[in-house]
Structure 1
């Protein structure tokens, strides 16, 4: 019994802690966790841009197939590059 109690009191390594968090939140990576925690309207915009369907908005990143994730990844990179000149600018400049 002492052995189990000792294990509970010992801190996890960083690698084990990260793996535990991913498992706890049902994702496979920190990017997956970030994507899964986006608001529904942002996910909807990203999925629409990637040519995905409404059902993808409700899916976790790791639940998508490789081709779906690739389309989403490509879309995010395209949007990020295209939107850089507009990001964090004052509204008065947006004319």
Structure 2
């Protein structure tokens, strides 16, 4: 039990742990980590919609330029809004 108490007393603050995880996975934010872990076909669709090139599919979010991220962000929001009425509907309704 002494070990547990010692570990608790020497644990990192949450923000340091989160920063360490971002560094470990090579991303700058939790949103970046989420994007970086999307399936390749999903990233391909998002990049295509944003007008980006094939090389962007393999890039991590933080490796893109600000302009590329702006285009990707805009595209994601446009798709999310446009697809909302179709999401989670029964296939029988999709005629």
Alignment gaps of 5+ in structure 1: 1-5
User: Per-residue displacement from partner, 1:17-74 (whole Å, max 9, x unpaired)?
Assistant: 1100000000000000000000000000000000000000000000000000000000
Find the residue that maps to 1:32 and give its secondary structure. Answer: helix
Specify the alignment match of 2:75 in structure 1.
Answer: 75
Specify the alignment match of 1:15 in structure 2.
Answer: 15
- Cα RMSD of the aligned pairs, angstroms, is 1.4
User: TM-score of the superposition, structure 2-length normalised?
Assistant: 0.90
- Structure 1: which 4+ aligned runs deviate by more than 6 Å? none
